[in-house]
Amino acid sequence: MYKLEDIQVLTLDGEPVNLKNDYANKPLLVLFFNIRCLGCVGRAIPLAYEYLKEYEGLEVIAIHTSFGNEVVTKDDIINIFTTKELPFPIFYDIDRTNYEKFECEGTPHWLIFDKSGNLFRSFYGSQDGAQTRLMYAIDELVANSN
């Protein structure tokens, strides 16, 4: 079974982070994305922000995953937001290790962890069907967390 402690990432400033240290004992929504993915930037990131506002107690983070020799800077990521501020924490995947470890099918890919740090659900996509499955899973997780 996959656990939150399995995720090692880098901050946008290049510092290593184990997500378990900051997000233990909290329900967590993780979005794997790429800034060149229109579904990620146009639908998934705004949806993640909506869930952050809508679900009290749900933590939301995003992990940028690069493909090939793509180099994405902190400024590149900040510049996708009109306010030039991050709406939630964003990290870098280290050589796609997390993307591959959690068998992501593409971007955007969502992971939901329960407050015990266990992987609760995993979804690919940002269109209507994926959004509906994601919303129901978050509703179930939040209901079981109270």
Give the DSSP per-residue string, the chain.
--BGGG-EEEETTS-EEEHHHHHTTS-EEEEEE-TT-HHIIIIIHHHHHHHHHHSTT-EEEEEE---TT----HHHHHTTSTTSS-SS-EEEESTTHHHHHTT--SSSEEEEE-TTSBEEEEEE--SHHHHHHHHHHHHHHHHHH-
| Mean pLDDT taken over the chain | 93
Q: What is the average per-residue pLDDT within 25-33?
A: 95
Q: What is the average per-residue pLDDT within 34-48?
A: 96
* Contact of 64 with 93, CB cutoff 8 Å: yes
The tokens for 84 are: 């030039």
Q: What is the average per-residue pLDDT within 124-141?
A: 94
Per-residue confidence (pLDDT) for residue 6, from 0 to 100: 79
Taken in order of first residue, the domains within the chain and their CATH numbers are 4-145 (3.40.30.10)
Beta bridge partners of 138: none
pTM > 0.85: yes
Per-residue confidence (pLDDT) for residue 10, from 0 to 100: 96
- Which among 77, 146, 60 is positioned nearest to 111, based on CA atoms? 60
Tens digits of residue pLDDT in 52-81: 999 988 999 999 999 988 899 999 999 999
